[in-house]
Amino acid sequence: MWAHILTSQLDVTAAVFWRCVREGKLPDRGGPSPVLVKKAVPLHLVIALREFGVDENDILERDAVGAAALLAAKYRELHNE
């Protein structure tokens, strides 16, 4: 019965099943590898930076902290002129 469940329902070999049980290593299901995504830039920062004339590609190359730092620099430039 176990052999039937392993091969037809779980689609794994006994060795792969027991490695999963003992070591917590999930069987390869052929799915996509997880992609590390950096945090998105909040929309309010994108809008504010666009108002300063910053190119959208330059904004989106940054993370939220980098975009906030750029906005702070733009405000400093504006007030130091």
pLDDT in tens, 9-21: 778 888 888 888 8
Query: How far is Cα 35 from Cα 43, in angstroms, rounded to an integer?
Result: 22
- For a pLDDT cut of 70, what percent of the chain falls above it? 94
pLDDT in tens, 19-36: 888 998 888 877 777 777
Tell me, yes or no, if the pTM score tops 0.75. Answer: no
Query: How far is Cα 26 from Cα 6, in angstroms, rounded to an integer?
Result: 14
DSSP letter at 80 equals H
Domain boundaries, the chain: 1-33, 43-80
Report CA torsion sign: 71, 77, 79, 80. positive
Which amino acid is present at 33?
A: S
